[in-house]
Amino acid sequence: MKTIIPSDISAVQLQQVMQTAIAPRPIALASTINSKGEINLSPFSFFNMFSTVPPVVIISPSRRVRDNTTKHTLENLKEVPELVIGNVNFDMVQQVSLASTEYEDGVNEFIKSGLTMKHADIVKPPMIAESPVNFECKVLEIKSLGNFGGSGNLVIAEIVKIHIQEKYLDEAGNLEQKQLDLVARLGGNFYSRNNENNIFEVPKPLVTKGIGYDQLPNEIKQSDVFTGNDLGMLANVEILPIGNFSSEKDVHLSAQKFLKNNEIDKAWEILKL
């Protein structure tokens, strides 16, 4: 196994390793404004939610690795501690990439990218009309993580209002994950696309307790067929079925077909002698 001590490699190499391994990362399309009223729009993949009550998100406009300069987004937020975060789907990803261009200070990336400004209700920066969801946010704190090229600046912000395009809601008024078609950042120039063709569900064991891997019969645990995912599904039943179980490869292959369709009970039925 290759091992790396972060201090032994360059910041560029470390960034490449981390951004490739820590992926996919959601994209925050951040709209900010400075004290002169100049608007900036820039995407950040150092972004996530960290609290529901209060509703808190964090983005990190890191210092540039190549020259240790700070980004316009960070400077704007120090002057006007408000922002709008729009999420990013496949239909707008090329325009969002264009907005990441390092234009001169004072240039409005809405205009450069062709994305549409929309008036926000509470905060000063505009919303992004194309984003499926816009979060109006107020900054609670900006925490610097260092003064080196690549050092992060945690912008801790509270969501004060959420705007959702109705076409992304289901009949019950809830966000429909499959329809959002969100994209995320990977390493290098790679992105991932998350739609009905490649997302899947894994039931959470919240109500009942699975028996656990340690309680699986040896015939199952020692199988040459079952993957770690297969064993995890079989171990997530509340009660181990009564009886003896087959160790035959053909039987395990048949059970695996049911597991691929999330039919765990049928898989256990096949495995019983």
**Residue 207 scores a pLDDT above 70:** no
pLDDT digits (tens, 9 = 90+) for 18-76: 999 999 999 999 999 999 999 999 999 999 999 999 999 999 998 888 888 888 999 99
pLDDT digits (tens, 9 = 90+) for 73-129: 999 999 999 999 999 999 999 999 999 998 999 999 999 999 999 999 999 999 999
219 and 182 within one domain: no
**Residue 205 scores a pLDDT above 80:** no
State the average pLDDT for the chain.
Answer: 94
Average pLDDT score over residue span 210-217 = 93
Helix, coil or strand: residue 112: helix
- Give the range of the structural domain holding residue 138, as residue numbers without chain letter: 6-194
**Residue 206 scores a pLDDT above 60:** no
Whether residue 175 is contained in a domain is answered as: yes
What is the per-residue pLDDT for 234? 94
Domains: count for the chain: 2
Whether residue 202 is contained in a domain is answered as: no
Residue pair 214/243 in contact by the 8 Å Cβ criterion: no
What is the per-residue pLDDT for 68? 84
Separation CA 234–CA 252 (nearest Å): 12
What is the per-residue pLDDT for 44? 97
Whether residue 218 is contained in a domain is answered as: yes
Percent of the chain past pLDDT 90, that is, above it, reads 86
Residue pair 192/184 in contact by the 8 Å Cβ criterion: yes
Helix, coil or strand: residue 74: helix
Structure tokens at 17: 């390793």
Separation CA 135–CA 27 (nearest Å): 13
pLDDT classification of 224: cutoffs 50, 70, 90 = very high
Residue pair 31/84 in contact by the 8 Å Cβ criterion: yes
89 and 189 within one domain: yes
What predicted TM-score, i.e. pTM, was given to this entire model?
0.89
Q: Which residue, 132, 159, 194, sits at the end of a domain?
A: 194
The DSSP string of 191-249 is EEEESTTT-------SSS----GGGS-HHHHT-SS--HHHHHHHTT-SSPPSS-B---H
180 and 59 within one domain: yes
Whether residue 207 is contained in a domain is answered as: no
183: left (phi over 0), alpha (psi -120 to 50) or beta: beta
